[in-house]
Each structure stands twice: as C-alpha cells, then as structure tokens.
Amino acid sequence: MVELSEPFLELNGITKRFGNFVAVDDVNLEITEGEFFTLVGPSGSGKTTMIRMLVGMDAPSDGEMRLQGRVMNDLPANKRPTCMVFQSLALFPHKSVGENIEFSMKITGKDKVKRRARVDQLMEQLRLPLSYYEKSVTQCSGGERQRIALARALAFDPQILFFDEPLSALDFRLRKALEKELKDIHRETGKTFVYITHSLEEAMVMSDRIAIMREGRIVQIGTPHEIYNNPKNKFVAQFMGEVNTLSVEKAGENTLRVTGFDDIFTVTDDLSDFTTGFLIIRPEVMKIGRSAADMKNKIKGIAFNDYALGSRVQYQIRIEHFDEPWLVERLQDEPYEGQRGDTVDIGWRPEDSILVSN
C-alpha cells in the first residue's frame, strides 16, 4: 500500500444535479499520487456520475476538483492529463493491436520510430506477444483485449487512469486473473488508478483504499481491512458480504438484548453511550455443534441446509423467533458431525461481534 501524503486529486463539495435529482451529493475526497483507489457501491449510488466528472465528460453543479492544486472543473476531457478505460474497452475494430495502442501518440504527432518503441515496451510490460502488433483486435481473447485497452491508456502517459467497471463482462476465471494483473501493473507503473465497480470482491483484492457510495454520498473510506473489520453502519456491514444482523438494545454494562426478545448476548464494546443499534456477526467467526459448546454467546437452532463454498462450508440455521436464518461457515476440514434437521448449538466470542448504527 502507498503511504498517504499530500493529496494528488482533491474533491471539495462536489455535487451533480440532473434537474431535481441529486446524483452526487457534497462529496469531499482526497486521493494520493500512486494510490489504487476504488469507488464501490450498488447501482444508482452515483459512482459512474462521479467518474464522468473526474474525466471531464460532465461538469459538477457545485464544488471544486483539483489535480495537483490546479482546478479542473472547466477543463475539457482532451486537455486533462487523465485517461479512461471503459467497460466496453472502446477499441478500434478496424485497427491492429499495435495501431490501437499507438493511437494517442499518433494524434499528438510522435514520430513512427518512437511510437513503435513505446508500443513494444508496453506490449512486453502487459505480456502481449510482440507478434501481435499486426494482429486484428477482433482476433484477440477477452483478456488480451483488456490488456490492449490498458496499454493504449498507458501510451498516453496519463497522470491518472480511470477505470469504469472494465472486468464486469468477463467470466469468473478471467476476471480473477485480471484482478491480480491490474494490481501488479499498478505496482509496476506507479500510476494513480481510480477504479469504479459494483463488485466488493474486486475492490477488496486490488485497492489501497475503498470509498463506499450510497445515494450519491460517500458513507465510508478506508483500507479493505478497515472497512471489513470496522464498518461504520449497517449498510456498509451488509454491503461487505453476508452477515448475521440483529437489532439490539442495551441490557447491561456489556450485554445487549435482541429487540423484542429475551436473547442476551455479550460484547466487548464500550456501551456507555449506546442505546439501540445493530449487532453484526460474520458467518466465518461463528462455531457450530461441539465447537460452539464453550462459546460465551450461544443459541440453538435447526440445521436447515448446507452449501459447499470451495474451501468452506456454509450452514443455514433456522431459529424459531428470528425471521432470517442464521449463517455459519467453517473450513471443510473442521470436524462437524451434524446432519440437516438436527438441533444444533451455534455461537461466537464477544470480541467477534461488530456493533454499528442504523
């Protein structure tokens, strides 16, 4: 991860309105040079509108955008030291791989010898065979086209590269491979990457920091570790993956009561200023069967179903007075002798609970 220093890209009060609809609402953000920064959120959260303003396709209604201290609000897209890798890639189908990569250099008048030398350098860096220079992009695989689009963007030598969900249309295996490649390329080039996606998994794998957006606002910024372990509210906690969520109220100095029921659970949080909120328990911290016997927080339920998740198994536990089933995960090689339909104990340690606001 990069060390945070002076802001390279700075947004102050950025707002974008379309008539009466506010797509981006008073966003303040600082991105450091060399950082891999990801905007993530559900559809309609404002992340695409945000990146369109950053690359100059739209102008903000209010606020100020600065790159290295220079105001960019009214600077046209073609005058900005930035480049965009689109979801569609936007490669020229009638041009060869080499012609696509060198396009920005050609329109700026760089001579042919220098263009070819730079193309060869980028193709080697992005693991594209030099023999592909004359190959039609239509004959390239999905992964190769992704690398061609990135090479074309790097040929422009931008200060910042923006990515608009470039992996969303790829199959799972290729997407996983390219996530790692993009992170490696970011490390090798030292460029500033600003990436948008609806996939939290992509953001977690690649990013130095993540900003989670909801309804036009940024609700939390932090490293993947910080956001996963310390979500600020229920929305962030649930957006980070499947969790067990309980509405709770203070019962004692370090105990919580499930709202409307008699279940009491212990936490390690300071509850001096707490009244009501939500208790989040991630499935992977929970125990089931005999391994739950000594847990301080424990409850009985019926093992309804189980799901193989690669190296893990997830169990759906139904508890009579809870509307939603509880989820418990264990590693495949952890012992568990239970069967579907069994009454089982499930439990977790107080320190593994996460307490959040609405």
pLDDT in tens, 281-331: 999 999 999 999 899 999 999 999 999 988 899 999 999 889 999 999 998
Residues 6 or more apart whose Cβ sits within 8 Å of residue 142: 169, 170, 171, 174
- Whether residues 231 and 285 share a domain: the answer is no
Residues 6 or more apart whose Cβ sits within 8 Å of residue 241: 200, 282
Residues 6 or more apart whose Cβ sits within 8 Å of residue 334: 291
> What residue has token string 């709770």?
248
Mean pLDDT of 54-74: 94
Are 175 and 147 in contact by the 8 Å Cβ rule? The answer is no
Residue-averaged pLDDT of the chain: 91
218: in domain: yes
Q: Structural domain tally of the chain?
A: 2
2: in domain: no
Count how many Cα atoms sit within 13 Å of the Cα of residue 107 in the half-sphere of its side chain: 9
- Whether residues 231 and 261 share a domain: the answer is no
- Whether residues 152 and 266 share a domain: the answer is no
Mean pLDDT of 275-283: 95
Residue 257 belongs to domain spanning: 242-356
Of the listed ranges 33-47, 162-176, 177-191, the least confidently predicted one is 162-176
In angstroms, rounded to a whole number, what is the distance separating the alpha carbons of residues 221 and 5?
16
117-146 tens-digit pLDDT: 999 999 988 889 999 999 999 999 888 888
- Whether residues 249 and 222 share a domain: the answer is no
* Kind of pairing between the strands at 287-288 and 343-348: antiparallel
- Whether residues 227 and 248 share a domain: the answer is no
- Per-residue pLDDT for 181 more than 90? no
- Whether residues 115 and 146 share a domain: the answer is yes
- Whether residues 139 and 206 share a domain: the answer is yes
- Whether residues 218 and 327 share a domain: the answer is no
User: What angle in degrees, to the nearest 10, is found between the helix axes of 142-155 and 112-125?
Assistant: 130
- Whether residues 153 and 260 share a domain: the answer is no
- Whether residues 248 and 105 share a domain: the answer is no
- Whether residues 276 and 184 share a domain: the answer is no
pLDDT band for position 18 (cuts 50, 70, 90): very high
301: in domain: yes
Distances from the Cα of 232 to the Cαs of 13, 274, 349, in angstroms? 21, 14, 21
In angstroms, rounded to a whole number, what is the distance separating the alpha carbons of residues 334 and 285?
13
H or E segment to which residue 53 belongs? helix 47-55
Domain boundary among 210, 235, 260: 235
- Whether residues 205 and 170 share a domain: the answer is yes
Residue 225 maps to which CATH number?
A: 3.40.50.300
1: in domain: no
pLDDT band for position 5 (cuts 50, 70, 90): low
87: in domain: yes
- Per-residue pLDDT for 175 more than 70? yes
Residue 289 maps to which CATH number?
A: 2.40.50.140
Domain boundary among 186, 213, 235: 235
- Per-residue pLDDT for 7 more than 60? yes
